Amino acid sequence: MGDVCYHEIIEGLFIGSLRSLGQISLLGITHVLSAVNFEVTSNLGNSKHLQIPLVDSEGDGLLPYLPTALAFIQEGMLEPGGRVLVHCQAGRSRSVAILLAYLMWSKSMTAEQALQKVKAIHSLAEPNEGYWAQLLLFQDMRCRLDEDHPVYRLWKLDQVGRKWEEEGWVDGGTFASTLTDAEAHQSKKILYRCRKCRTALCTERNLVPVAAANGHRLFRGFWKALRNKGVAPADSPPAPPQLLLFSAPDKSASLHAEAIATGQKVSEAVGDASLLKQTSIFVEPIVWMGPMVMGEVCGKLYCPGDNCSNRLGSFNWSGISNEQGKWVTPAFQLHVSKMDIIIPTTRGMQPAHGRNLVSASSTSTHNDPCIIAESSISSTEECVIEPVSSSAEKHSHESNLLNPQLSSSSSAYVVPTSQERRSCTPASDLGNTKAAADGAAAHALMAHEHYQASTAVDPNRVCNTALGLKLLPSAEHVHTDDLRWTQLAFSGLVFDVDGVLVDSECYSCEALRLAILMVTGVEIPHSFPQDFYPVFGMDVRSCIQYYKEVCSRTDWVHITDIVLKVSLAKEGIYKELTAKGIQAFDCAKDLISLVRELGWGIALASSGTPEKIRWNLKQSGLRELLSDDHFIVSTTEVAKGKPAPDVFSEAIKRLGCTDPSKVIVVEDTVNGLIGARAAGALTIAVTTSFSQEHLKAHADKVVNSLSDVMLLFNKLKKDRSVGASLAL
């Protein structure tokens, strides 16, 4: 290679070492992707920059970064005159791995073909063994992140186990969700539910295959195992097909069900009667386990259903031996005697003897779970399946990882501040603004009604099933100006972020618009703020669902993929829009300090991602005052976004508050206020996004600014010393 620190692999796409950054002006580079875990201090000129914090170890996770990295490279390649440089420290492993993934995705190459192409030009190319294994998996998933792929799910479990071993904690946001009965039927998944209360617990996609046992380190021993088998030379990567040695999932549950449905002997269908003697299953960590497994090495698993204390099994981050004597690490074990199994007949099976309910005892003498064959959609027979109390978002990954159709106009970002917006709103638009706000309030109420219907609980009580929370009593909400809260000892305050602490709603809306345009080619209505009233406070998934409906986008079939792409694009655009800083609202810092003086806990509950929340705090100068990430809660960490109460219930839980009526939530949107109310908290609405007229029906108190909140709390501070009440 000599002194050459870069090479052009295909037209406009370069790979290089850290030294190649000195050549970006000469090469006309417009986009720089840095695959390093340290700060890049070189002068990048006007080039767009993305940093992927890879550390070049065999256990390093490459796959989660690929959607962001590939979208960034594709943006540069499609931009007129765009030229992209991908670099790492030496230009040998990290940058090569990302470049190979791009060639595989964009040029339909296998991992081996991509590596040979790069090596022919850039002889130093040598991704480490862990990266190569992940690239083979990426290939096996058809160059997309397929949540249903058994090896990918095992790899993610392996990453969770690694993090626990190395750092002693894990992010509950990485845990898997599960499906309800109806969703399992639609996705043709076998559903496991609590035998006592019928709460959905997991599906077959959550099962840990028997082949993954023996320490369950799928990729740690990947190369060694292949070489010991003689299928790969010691000095070269294995061929892609070898990955399939590890990809066979445990089919015993499916075969068991199929045998029952067809009247076949189960032992004949499974081929090994010993499988029927299994009394437990091992699953990946699931969201509802969070409160039980976070911060503990081992313990018991209980049903998350309301008022159900059914003990389902055990967990141990260090591992548990399965019934074949193999060690599963980390281990989350559920006893089959505690569960029913729902078999979807949409797999092409019909219930044996025309019955919907088949007792396991009729086919086996073992203590098997009750196995239920679900009646078909068109059947008029009584269906034994009943809806459970909560619904997790289903995942569909049938389209490509990324949409190559990107907008070249997305580089022009001009967004007014909220003060500029208020001062320049034409009088002719006020009627439209009011109509939009009315529509937004109606839409939020409809969303809340839909949520209540789907959860089938008392609307005055809330159950965050995904997090295993018990029902919380709802506060009695009175909407009179002379309301007095007497002898209240508040214990916590929860802030929304966008539109409450920081003036960022305009940037968020513009980033959302550009991201949707970039990913789908659809231009959504974008007069600010009126066109965005219906989606204020929503997470990206809810926004996409809303625009799919109002824009009649019947072609938006694979919502999960669109949400993923839009979320990734939105994060990058938002950071670019706010790179020079975000304005914190007046009195934000003083209010936070006052709440601390009152002795209350403070938490944040936002629809933004955790990264965006931290970015907002940093760019607005509030990060030093709100530095504990434990009290930062994103809707990405719970089952449902606003107007569901989940994010507020979790924030209240993290504050250690057992009575939500002793917690105040400060919000600026109708969706947020509805969710806070449903969580049982008292609410203060700030008119930064909606008018007082539209907020008053959903809040206990409406104020114009944080300074008004300061006045209320100062009065409380003063009156508390003499035992007086707080007048609202």
What is the maximum span of the chain, computed from C-alpha positions, in angstroms? 82
- Dihedral pair phi/psi, residue 698, rounded to 5°: -120, 0
For residue 625, the number of C-alpha atoms closer than 13 Å in the C-beta half-sphere is 22
Nearest Cα neighbor of 216 from 171, 167, 272, 156 is 156
User: Are residues 713 and 598 in contact, defined by beta-carbon separation less than 8 angstroms?
Assistant: yes
Residue 684's DSSP bridge partners are 666, 701
Cα–Cα distance, 75 to 404 (Å, whole number): 8
The CA angle 374-348-370, to the nearest 5 degrees, is: 35
Cα–Cα distance, 476 to 490 (Å, whole number): 15
Residue 621's DSSP bridge partners are none
Known active-site residue 88:
yes
Query: What tokens appear for 267 in the block?
Result: 């032992």
Cα–Cα distance, 699 to 681 (Å, whole number): 10
Nearest Cα neighbor of 399 from 147, 186, 636 is 147
**Separation of CA 110 from chain center:** 29
- Rg of the Cα trace of the chain? 27
Nearest Cα neighbor of 543 from 521, 518, 570 is 570
User: Are residues 15 and 87 in contact, defined by beta-carbon separation less than 8 angstroms?
Assistant: yes
Phi-psi region of 499 (alpha: psi -120 to 50; beta: other; left: phi over 0): left
- How many Å from the N-terminal Cα to the C-terminal Cα in the chain? 74
Query: What tokens appear for 306 in the block?
Result: 């309301």
- Point out the catalytic residue in the list 5, 88, 202, 657: 88
Q: In what order do the strands lie in the sheet with 13-16?
A: 6-10, 13-16, 84-87, 31-34, 48-51
- Whether residue 643 is preceded by a cis peptide bond, meaning omega within 30 degrees of 0, is yes
User: Are residues 190 and 343 in contact, defined by beta-carbon separation less than 8 angstroms?
Assistant: yes
From the CB of residue 227, how many other CB atoms can be counted at a distance below 10 Å? 15
What are the angstrom distances between the C-alpha of 413 and each of 127, 410, 416, 509, 579? Answer: 37, 7, 10, 12, 11
Residue 91 is which amino acid? Answer: G
For residue 39, the number of C-alpha atoms closer than 13 Å in the C-beta half-sphere is 2
Nearest Cα neighbor of 156 from 102, 221, 218, 211 is 218
Cα–Cα distance, 554 to 377 (Å, whole number): 23
The CA angle 383-388-392, to the nearest 5 degrees, is: 120
Tell me the catalytic residues. 88
